[in-house]
Amino acid sequence: MGIRLAESADRSAVETIVSTAYEPYVQVIGARPLPLVADYGELISQGRVHVLENGEIDALIVLQAHEGVLLVENVAVRPDRQGRGLGRRLMAFAEFRARSLGLRALRLYTNEKMTSNIGLYKSLGYRETEREAIDGRHVVHMRKEL
């Protein structure tokens, strides 16, 4: 399995993974999660999407250097590949990427109702820094110092 920068030809696979990974959360949070409304063509062209593949794309991560930290905007794993450590592998890649860019920390946000995600991020060393309401969504901000 390798992680590489997504290419324009990967757009359909990326959008399918995001859709199938996040669609179950629509009922849980009562709104469409922000990754479902992102423009993946634009994100790919900006070099912000990395994919994990093993013959086909199994997962992805969207990263952006911002204000001295690396923002993890989205991590999505194909539902039939979940539970195999792919999300953890992508999060480790994000740490590697942050260090290679000379950044001192990683930051992310998730919906407060995505409790399993919050638990995962805490187990990876992230700490909660703030909670806020954004466009009717209740967001938990988290950060990990490197």
Q: Is the pTM of this model over 0.85?
A: yes
Is residue 135 predicted with pLDDT exceeding 80? Answer: no
Going from N- to C-terminal start, the domains of the chain cover 2-108
CATH superfamily of 2-108: Gcn5-related N-acetyltransferase (GNAT) (3.40.630.30)
d(CA 108, CA 143): 6
Give pLDDT tens digits for 33-65. 889 999 999 999 999 999 999 899 999 999 999
CA 120 remoteness from chain centre: 12
Predicted confidence at residue 104, as pLDDT, reads: 95
